[in-house]
Amino acid sequence: MADQSTLQYTAEHEWVEVVGEVATVGITAYAADKLGDVVFVDLPAVGATVASGSIVGEIESTKSVGELFAPLDGTVEEINDSVVDSPELVNSDPFGEGWLMKVRFSELPPLLSFEQYSELVAE
C-alpha cells in the first residue's frame, strides 16, 4: 500500500505516485467511498496517449458512473487488469491493489500535496 502522505493528488480525487518517469494512478479512498460499491472499471488501452485533464475511462458503481481523468500527459504503459476483473479492489484497497494505470510522462504538471488534498476534502 502506498504511503498516502508521500503521494500527489488531483482535484478530481486521483492519487499519483511518481517513480522515475512513470506515474502510477488510482482514485483516493474519499472518491471510492463517495462512489459506493464499484462494479465496473473501464481503462485506456496500453500504448494510448493521454492528455492531462482529458477523460480516459470510467468507474461505475451501484450509485453512479464517474469519469476517470488523466492527471498528466503521457503514454499508458500498463493497466491494472486485476481491477478490470475485480472492480471491488477500488473500494477495498484504493492505494494498493486498486491502482488503475501507469503512465510514462515527460513533464509532471502541478499536483496537490497530501495536505492540500486533505483540505480539499475536509467536510
User: What whole-number distance in Å separates Cα of residue 65 and Cα of residue 3?
Assistant: 27
Structural domain boundaries, residue 60: 4-107
pLDDT per residue as tens digits for the range 7-22: 999 999 999 999 999 9
Which CATH number is 46's domain given? 2.40.50.100
Structure confidence at residue 4 (pLDDT): 85
As beta bridge partners, residue 66 has 59
Closest CA to 103 of 67, 123, 64, 77: 77
Domain count, the chain: 1
pLDDT at residue 1 greater than cutoff 80:
no
Q: What is the pTM of this model?
A: 0.94
Question: Residue 118 falls within a domain, yes or no?
Answer: no
Contacts of 60 (CB under 8 A, 6+ apart): 38, 39, 40, 41, 42, 66, 87
